[in-house]
A and B are shown apart, each in its own frame.
Chain A
């Protein structure tokens, strides 16, 4: 079980980065549902169209937790437009690959991020 994951997946699973909530987040996105076994919430702080802080909470398997963790690392400091372009393949590649059966986990991470950005944009529509 543990060996189907790369070193990088295990590193991000056992030592996840940016876990938690941002109380005064500018955007929040949640995807997945408990029935399927994956729920992810991403919290972002935005300044000048750039993600200056990001945190996550994830209920799910090791791939889901590692995908969330690395997503926060990849997009921290990026502009919202850059972050919107993040795909599940980008997430999986950064992790050194994911088993085929777990690819939907990386999809969820990028989806949650996009939800958070959309939430921010909705709130800040002029």
Chain B
């Protein structure tokens, strides 16, 4: 139950990809028929990615994944704005709970002389629209706020952010890596100018993603070379990967309604069952959250221990505990929603996938109380 980390590639996606490894191995940029087959497949995938976002195909750029899309979208806009005569200014607004791909990119831009405002969030992880409006100045040229949070699953008020961005003539980028295929996305309706997508979170392959760039929005390329993707992202097309992303988006769009209802039912049952445990709490918003995300905290126990005990029972999970991070740093998201360090330590993320069933939920609900109890019995903080 750690599908927020990654998902298995759908069998239908694999079948669609396979011919592009050998049968249609041609370079989509070549003139001959081998290249043509591959070119057509890339363009068909472009339409499929555009479809799920309600965008036009020529607004989609293929990348190596969510991180590259975030980098290209944010730096691309920033560098161009800096170079442009009469560029709008040097101010970027983001949130304090972004994925590291956005936070580290903004941090890099700060070193280059840009000013970045990190908006705080409320206890559910939602930015306040008032804060956003107050933060906008004549120097602001970009707002980058995630569609939905990868840890606690909170969905941000995207339509309102888009409306404000448009009103102030500021570009709006959103990292939709966790949101796509789990909530309906319409870049037109939401006034989104740039949006990042990754394939491996939606039952597609790793190493491929896309960036939506609204027609008319200009960015500066990060990779220079053969001039692929309108010169915005040079690199030979990863045809099988792109075909996989396209198929994953197509399936995701077809199944969206059904998947959302399925996950919501399982998630709500999971939350209801787990919250029966003494001193257990839900992190994030009760309703404005991704349909497959359940995030808890338990008093007096530590998350890595919890993850390992669950792992022994065959259940994959994640935590925001510092002890499980490579840098021994507590989750910036959980800290931003106001949790104390010891509360962050006791956090547990369960993210559902298509393979999960009601029996899985019952199984987790049957073993978790015992594990929490065992760890609490060992804990000097539990009375």
Contact = CB atoms under 8 A, between A and B. Distances in A.
B345 interface: yes
Nearest to A56: B378
A20 to B, nearest CB: 8
A62 B342 contact: no
A59 B301 contact: yes
Interface residues of B, number: 27
A126 to B, nearest CB: 31
Interface string B120-146: 000000000000000000000000000
A10 B323 CA distance: 16
Contacts of B308: 1-2, 10, 13, 62
Contacts of A62: 304-305, 308
A39 interface: yes
A31 B224 CA distance: 55
Interface in A13-40: 13-14, 16, 19, 30, 34-40
Name the residue in A30, A35, A40 with the highest tally of chain B Cβ atoms < 10 Å from its Cβ. Answer: A35
B148 interface: no
Given A13-B305, A37-B345, A58 B323 contact: no
A10 B322 CA distance: 20
A3 to B, nearest CB: 10
A58 B305 CA distance: 11
A39 B380 contact: yes
Given A1-B311, A19-B377, A61 B326 contact: no
Given A39-B380, A59-B382, A101-B326, 7 more contacts: A1-B304, A2-B311, A10-B308, A13-B308, A14-B312, A35-B340, A40-B380
Interface of B: 300-302, 304-305, 307-309, 311-312, 321-324, 326, 328, 330, 340-342, 345, 377-382
Interface of A: 1-2, 10, 13-14, 16, 19, 30, 34-41, 57-65, 101
